[in-house]
Every structure is written in structure tokens, then in C-alpha cells.
Amino acid sequence: MAMAHILVIPFPAQGHVNPLMLLSQKIVKHGFKITFVNTDFNHNRVVGALDSLMDSNISLVSIPDGLGPEDDRNEFGKLCEAMLRTMPEKLEELINYINASNGDDKISCIVADAAGMGWAIEVGIKMGIKRAFFWPGTAASLALQFSIPRLLDDGIINSDGIPTQRQMIQPLPGIPVMDTAYIPWIRIGDSTCQKIVFKYILQCMQTLKLGDWWLCNTVPELEPVTFSLAPKLLPIGPLMSSEHIEDSVGQFWQVDHSCLNWLDQQPPCSVLYVAFGSFTVFEPTQFQELALGLELTNRPFLLVVRLDIVDWSKTAYTNEIQGTRGKIVGWAPQTKVLNHPSIACFISHCGWNSTIEGGSNGVPFLCWPYFADQFLDRIYICDVWKVGLGFELDENGIVLREEVKRKVDQLLGDESIRARSLELKKMLMNNISDNGQSSKNFNNFIQWLKA
């Protein structure tokens, strides 16, 4: 009998490829075959960074995103418009090609990233294929998008999605009060980009009701109210890479494993792990304050510095900041790092994958959000679960070196934050135990795929 064949398509960003790859690795264990579709641009990066063998039941394939080689794919507005013009037709061609060349092994279901790939579900409907959505962020950030009609009616945002004034709002009952300055879609690029992204979100929200299943990488107790607002949303988190799976599959950068040996030589619970995900960029002044702040703490630190995190020609700091206590890598095997006994805390951009990974390992946070829904995640980390602290900016919008040291000392001196972090870990891990709610939800999904 042919294996059921699932096509998985993430939004073309590292924080979307990662959880969908973890989901794929989990699905494959149940006897399925996966075709994982990246854009050509990201496919080349993923294949170039692979340092371990792929599961033979996961094929990596790609289609064009509609942008030229010279275009900047961090310009989300431009990227979204190009994708919408190009990718639906290319996806359909790809599915037809797979179905024609695979005999009985035709695509039986599309799992699409609900954050930006809703059009793929329309392709599924057109071709008569089963459809599921996966939402890679907090359930609250999805609920926030569901509340757009209300935000428009109440005059909180205008028809371009831009807040009419800065104020504190509670978008939906049970969701924390938030500043309109931190609405996710207005934390992306300039105002032109924000308008395009907002329209793109509205379009994707229209397609959500066409999905048979909505899955997300969280657990019910983390944000209980959200699930009463969106009962169709099923938590299957935390998605983790299992012991024998390398967490470098799906990475855009080559993973530097040397930091694990370095961590082995540090005392338990001593190291500051500092990583800002795949998008954060720093002004040279800010990067220098961060580096000097880490030096000031007098603690060992592991700092992840992507090549494009700062304009190196404008900063005096390169390797000098390692000193005797620091280690700098270009990209880290983050799951293994956070699981390491020497880690004391995580200075993070609060992307959802990092938040879930840190939480699953009982690591407390220092929050430094950069864009999109990271500000909402910070509210949960600091104010709702109380497993972390945020940094204060000075009058020029800079986190000063003294502030870095002050917050590290405060966090690591607070036993109650550490205790709550360990409670959070227990709650997350209970959900993926055999009888846990996430495991039950996932198994129901697998049964549906097999039906």
C-alpha cells in the first residue's frame, strides 16, 4: 500500500521553516512521506547548511518566490506581493508533477503555514486535496488577527491596519492589555510595508476557514483564554527535536557545534546564552553596548552573531568581546544549547520558537524583542508567566551596558523566577507525555491524515 503523502509549505523565514520541519519529522514517524516546499532562495540555504543526513521520507523541494536574485527578501512587503503573484501557480504545477510521477503516491494533504501561506489551501481546494493549517506563533497572536474587524469597528486601527492613536488596548477578553505600538503587523518595516503586510494578513485570514485542521505550537495552559476564543485551534506543542534528530535540518546557516564542548567546561547554571534569531539587526552603537554589558556581568556568555546582525564596517567590536569568558558563534544548535546544564538564562528576541524552547528547558529569559509578534511574546514571558524580565531603553532608545548588567544580576538573583521557569517546563513537558493534551491532539490529527 502506498504511504500517505503530505506536502508541507512554510512561510519563507527561518522561524517558520523550523517548526514546520519539526512537525514534518514528527509526522514521518507515523509512516507518512513528506514533500517539504521551500522557496528556491531558502532551499539553497537549507541544503548548503545541512550537516546531517535527512530522513529519507522527507524530500526537500522548492518553487520560486517571484523575486530576483538581487532583491532583499527581508523586505516583507515586496516578498508577500511577489509570492502571491508567483507561488500559487508554481505550487499547482509542482503537485501535478509529483502526482504524475508518483503513481499511487499522490499528495493526499497540504499542511500550510497559517502565517502567510493561506493561498496554498486554495490550491488544495482547487485540486481536491485535504488541508490543514499550522500556526507557528502564540495562539494569542492569531486571536489578535481574528480581532482585526473589531479593532477596525472600534476605530483603534484604520483601514491600513495602522493605529489611529497610541493607547493601551485589550484586543480580546483574557488576552493581556497591550500597547497599540506593539501590534505585530505595525512592527514590520516602514509604513508602505506595513500596509502591504496588513492586506496580505487579511487575505490569509479569509482562507483560514477553508482549513480542515488548525494546529499550533503551544499548550492550552499557556494561554487558556485563546482556545476558548478559537476552539478550532488545537495545541500540539511543544514541538521538540527528538534526541536522535539533528536540530540543524532546516537551518539557513551552518550550525557551529563547537560551542557544546565549550559549554561542557563551564560551571552549572553559569552561562548567559545570547541569541536574537534570524532577523534582528543592531545599530553599531547598540551592539557595542550589548558587548560591553556582557563583559561587565563578569559571567561566561555564549553569543550568537550572524554575519548580517550589524554593519561590521561601523563597529569597533569583532572578536575582542570574547575576552576570556565569552564564546561567539555564527549560528548555534539552539535546542541542545538550551538543554545544557551550564545555561543560566536566555537573552532573547522572544521569537515564539525560542520562547517555547527556552520554556521547555526551564530557562529564565531576558527579553529584547525586535519586530512582529515578539513584543506580544515578551508580555507573556514577563507579565503573564513571570519567567523573565525586559530591558529598559535610555532616552535614545538604547539598552545601555549598565542596564544589561543590572538585569542579568536581578534575574539571576531572583529564585522565584527560576522556580516559575521550572514549573513552566514541567507543564510544557506534561503536554507531550503519552497522556498529555498535545499528544492526544496530535494523535487525532494523525488518525485524520490516515483516514
Say whether pLDDT at 189 is over 70.
yes
CB burial of residue 261 (10 Å; 0-12, 13-18, 19+): exposed
pTM of the model: 0.96
Q: Check whether residue 291 and residue 337 sit in a common domain.
A: yes
* 373 part of a folded domain: yes
Q: Check whether residue 423 and residue 439 sit in a common domain.
A: no
Q: Check whether residue 291 and residue 386 sit in a common domain.
A: yes
Q: Check whether residue 226 and residue 361 sit in a common domain.
A: no
* 418 part of a folded domain: yes
Q: Tell me how many degrees the CA angle 137-142-143 measures, rounded to the nearest 5.
A: 140
- For residues 53-66, give the mean pLDDT: 92
Closest C-alpha among 190, 197, 200, 186 to residue 157: 186
Preceding amide of 267 cis, omega within 30: no
* 251 part of a folded domain: no
The predicted pLDDT at position 402 comes to 98
Q: Check whether residue 336 and residue 348 sit in a common domain.
A: yes
Domain with residue 173: its CATH number is 3.40.50.2000
Q: Check whether residue 298 and residue 328 sit in a common domain.
A: yes
The predicted pLDDT at position 2 comes to 66
* 249 part of a folded domain: no
Mean pLDDT of the chain: 93
Q: Check whether residue 288 and residue 351 sit in a common domain.
A: yes
Q: Check whether residue 299 and residue 226 sit in a common domain.
A: no
What is the C-alpha separation between 14 and 38, in angstroms, rounded? 11
* 317 part of a folded domain: yes
Closest C-alpha among 316, 357, 320 to residue 335: 357
* 323 part of a folded domain: yes
Count of structural domains within the chain: 2
Tell me the pLDDT tens digit for each residue of 5-33.
999 999 999 999 999 999 999 999 999 99
CB burial of residue 173 (10 Å; 0-12, 13-18, 19+): exposed
Domain that includes residue 376, residue range: 258-429
Tell me the pLDDT tens digit for each residue of 270-299.
999 999 999 999 999 999 999 999 999 999
Q: Check whether residue 378 and residue 366 sit in a common domain.
A: yes
Neighbouring residues of 87: CB distance < 8 A, sequence distance ≥ 6: 39, 63, 64, 65, 66, 119, 120
Alpha helical stretches, state H, 29-75: 40-49
- In 294-353, at which residue ranges do the beta strands (DSSP E only) sit? 301-304, 326-329, 343-348
Q: Check whether residue 446 and residue 396 sit in a common domain.
A: no
Tell me the pLDDT tens digit for each residue of 209-258.
899 999 999 999 998 878 877 778 899 999 987 665 666 689 999 999 99
Cα dist. 261→109, 323, 430 in Å? 42, 18, 30
